[in-house]
């Protein structure tokens, strides 16, 4: 598909459509010959500790997975179950991270973008198009792409990526809890809670805490 066509792909996205809202963006692209679409999202931007994790997911043309939605709206058992379904049905899934130290060096926004870029590279696929959750484009993105505000509730591919990223990151933090049990990462998975702040006051930050974040 030539660049001029790519530039106009979304010009008529707002036209009426009888299909599911969740797959409207993907169906719009599929119908125009854009088949290998990667949705990418991150998890853990607001955490005090641990990496930011990004996932990239390519779904087959025509995919419509019941229950897939923004990971924040799902219970943990729902996310876990749907992550398995996504992995079984996806053409490809990849996950990447930026560590707490990288977050401190880059800031959380650009570390999130870097984790997304790494996840896309790890797909090891020729991509026709990338759908990015949010309003920020990945710097120097190697593929045609569009940032989709609230994409995890508007795009099936992005929603699938959000579920993969969230379940992967939660698992990492529960494993880290075995080394640093004083912070209760088995329950808060690094997010700011009263108990987490109390543990920081008592024990100080761990090597996995983000020193560029307010930890008090």
Its domain, for residue 68, covers 18-203
195 by DSSP, 3-state: which?
helix
Residue 213 in any domain: the answer is no
Q: What percent of the chain has pLDDT over 90?
A: 81
Residue 215 in any domain: the answer is no
Count of structural domains within the chain: 1
Residue 103 in any domain: the answer is yes
Q: Over the stretch 175-215, which tens digit does the pLDDT of each residue have? A: 999 999 999 999 999 999 999 999 999 999 999 999 999 99
Residue 106: predicted pLDDT: 98
Q: Over the stretch 205-216, which tens digit does the pLDDT of each residue have? A: 999 999 999 998
Burial of 192 (0-12, 13-18, 19+ CB in 10 A): middle
Please count the CA atoms within 13 angstroms of the CA of 166 that sit on its side-chain side: 28
Residue 13 in any domain: the answer is no
Contact yes or no for 19/119 (Cβ under 8 A) = no
Look at 114 and 72; give whichever has higher pLDDT.
Answer: 114
CATH of the domain at 125: 3.30.420.10
Contact yes or no for 136/151 (Cβ under 8 A) = no
Helix (H) or strand (E) holding 93: strand 92-98
Residue 3: predicted pLDDT: 47
The reported pTM is: 0.93
Most confident of 11-20, 26-35, 67-76: 26-35
């Amino acid at each position: 598909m030539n660049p001029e066509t790519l530039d106009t792909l979304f010009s008529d996205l707002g036209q009426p459509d009888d299909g599911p809202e969740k797959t409207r963006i993907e169906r719009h692209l599929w119908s125009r010959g854009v088949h290998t679409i990667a949705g990418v999202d991150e998890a853990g931007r607001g955490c005090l500790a641990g990496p930011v994790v990004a996932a990239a997911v390519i779904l087959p043309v025509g995919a419509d997975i019941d229950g897939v939605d923004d990971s924040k709206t799902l219970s943990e058992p729902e996310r876990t179950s749907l992550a398995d379904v996504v992995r079984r049905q996806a053409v490809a899934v990849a996950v990447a991270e930026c560590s707490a130290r990288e977050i401190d060096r880059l800031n959380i926004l650009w570390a999130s973008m870097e984790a997304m870029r790494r996840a896309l590279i790890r797909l090891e696929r020729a991509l026709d198009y990338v759908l990015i959750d949010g309003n920020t484009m990945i710097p120097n993105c190697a593929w045609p792409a569009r940032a989709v505000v609230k994409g995890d509730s508007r795009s099936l591919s992005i929603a699938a990526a959000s579920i993969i990223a969230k379940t992967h990151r939660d698992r990492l933090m529960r494993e880290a809890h075995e080394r640093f049990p004083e912070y209760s990462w088995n329950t808060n998975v690094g997010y700011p809670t009263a108990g987490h702040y109390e543990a920081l006051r008592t024990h100080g930050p761990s090597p996995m805490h983000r020193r560029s974040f307010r930890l008090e």
